Amino acid sequence: MKVPTTHINAAKGDFAPVVLMPGDPKRAKYIAANFLENARLVNDVRGVQGYTGFYRGKPVSVMASGMGVPSMLIYSEELFAAYDVKAIIRVGTAGTIDPNIKLRDIMIVQSASSNGNVLQRFSGDFSLSTVASFSLMSSAKAVCEREGLNYKIANVLTSDYFYDEAPEKMKKAQSLNISAVEMECAALYVNAMRYKKEALTICSISDNILTGKGLDSNERETSFNSMIKVALEVAHTF
């Protein structure tokens, strides 16, 4: 794949080996401004902002993935294939369907199922299990324990439908030990598997699908900051 790509106009070498990927471009800018030193803009195609700076002396990049499976597939593939990024850590929000998981908890995602056809697209006639990098997951667990954060290592459903929370579907997911619903993880994990790279999703629990309760904007920012610090510490040890 040639550089620049269709969706990223950065030069070769503009991205660090590890990229943090929130969904929202504004969150990418927020991370760069508040957590990275000497951050510089390396991509702004279609307003999907990407930055590279330093965290505790080590280069780290952050770029938005956009919303949903197709967008994550595009950006993660171009980073892995064209820019030789070694690891991507998705940082986002998720809605819990596990009564034991509370709002603001951090979820380290070990596997992602999907209600779309992306997994079948790449696996053909067999079922594909999309899983996190064990080393990144172990590192995130160690950081959470060191910092005294509430966390759970869990399985998620990557859904193509934001407004699809039918009770019978959530009960089915619960019966399969799925703890939360989000919209990008399976796409990231399948691309990491395809390109033999490493990937991890860390989510802040912003909503409870079972009760309808959720965090307001200020509460989301606070819990988001804790999650970002975990991801940056993982990137620093990579």
Active site residues: 207
Which has the closest alpha carbon to 71: 158, 147, 137? 158
Separation of alpha carbons 55 and 217, rounded Å: 26
Omega before 59 within 30 of 0, i.e. cis: no
Separation of alpha carbons 108 and 41, rounded Å: 28
Is the Cβ–Cβ distance between 62 and 80 less than 8 Å?
Answer: no
Neighbours of 163 (CB within 10 A): 5
Q: Which residues contact 117 (CB under 8 A, 6 or more apart)?
A: none
Q: Which residue has the tokens 């804790």?
A: 226
Q: Which residue has the tokens 């070694």?
A: 86
Is the Cβ–Cβ distance between 147 and 230 less than 8 Å?
Answer: yes
Tokens of 69: 């499976």
